[in-house]
Amino acid sequence: MTKELIEFITRRKNELNALVVSHFYQLPEIQEVADFVGDSLQLARQAAETDAQVVVYCGVHFMAESAKILSPNKTILLPEVNAGCPMADMATGEALRAKKAEHPNSVVVSYVNTSAEVKAETDICCTSSNAVSIVKSIPLDKEIIFVPDQNLGSYIENQTGRKMIMWEGYCPIHNNLTVDEVMEQKRLHPEAKIVVHPEVPESVAHIADVVSSTSGILDYVKNSSDKEFIIGTEVGFLYTLSQHCPDKTFYIARPEFTCQDMKVITLERLANALDKLEHQIEVPEDIRKKAYDSLDRMLKIT
């Protein structure tokens, strides 16, 4: 069955001139059939630059929505329409408008892990790959409201020295990682480097050897002379790392480091989306235009 599904997906992609992109956290079989695998910034660039008229996003809703914002004339498909992001749900356009009214001289920087409605209220977006550069680009006389991940926000503050008005949001998966869990893995694997994503709590980031985005972690591991790594991000990324660095060993920082939303897209659902062009993502034009500006500013800086 798997072989037949892969053959159908490949054939249908060619028929539609479709591009299938996958986030690093997707199931291994989804990463295998994708034309491109990357982090949020890389996927955003693919949406903006590809000539494909159909783009299938194997990720979560805000990612597919961002693709539609950048490429309104393309058909953007999300194979599982209910693949969401709890962190993105922690910020709304209405709440952000209220926060902006409290700080009228502020610049709003929003993580791409937000809805189109929030992006429409945002001055400039960022990803974990470019957040530090984005914040450094903002004039020092401006307050910064950072939405919605307070852990990423704390990491940016430590890297830039800029104090920001922090939204009280977080990734429930990354935020559960504790210092004790990481140190237990270090006890079991004393030679392993601790490498974590900036969505982890600040206390965990402080004990890590490296704090970086997923693409940054991949680059670090590829170029490192070390052979063992404790990885503090979603478990799906271990497949990506092992594919690129088969000679190295990876340990997940905690056993339950799994985002269920990133695991709901299957080969069957991907094939169905390509077959029927189902689950097309749409964004109201008034919101899309405003959200486009915040994403476009991000892409021009990085």
Spatial separation of the C-alpha atoms in residues 14 and 53, rounded to whole Å: 11
DSSP for 139-194 reads -TTSEEEEESBHHHHHHHHHHH----EE-SB--HHHHT--HHHHHHHHHH-TTPEE
| pLDDT, tens digit, 9 for 90 and up, residues 106-116 | 999 999 999 99
* Amino acid of residue 268: E
| Tens place of pLDDT per residue across the chain (302 aa) | 699 999 999 999 999 999 999 999 999 999 999 999 998 878 878 877 899 999 999 999 999 999 999 999 999 999 999 999 999 999 999 999 999 999 999 999 999 999 999 999 999 999 999 999 999 999 999 999 999 999 999 999 999 999 999 999 999 999 999 999 999 999 999 999 999 999 999 999 999 999 999 999 999 999 999 999 999 999 999 999 999 999 999 999 999 999 999 999 999 999 999 999 999 999 999 999 999 999 999 988 86
Q: Which of 122-151 are b and which e, b meaning 16 or more Cβ less than 10 Å from the residue's Cβ?
A: bbbbbbbbbbbebbebbeeeeebbbbbbbb
Domains of the chain (ranges, CATH numbers)? 2-84+262-282 (3.40.50.10800), 88-171+289-301 (3.40.50.10800), 177-255 (3.40.50.10800)
DSSP for 39-98 reads -HHHHHHHHHH---SEEEEES-HHHHHHHHHH-TTSEEE-SSTT---TTGGG--HHHHHH
DSSP for 235-284 reads TTHHHHHHHH-TTSEEEESSTT---GGGG---HHHHHHHHHHT-SB----
Is the distance from CB of 27 to CB of 264 less than 8 angstroms? Answer: no
What Rg, from alpha-carbon coordinates, does the chain have?
19
* Amino acid of residue 67: A
- Structure confidence at residue 40 (pLDDT): 81
| Tokens coding 102 | 């409290």
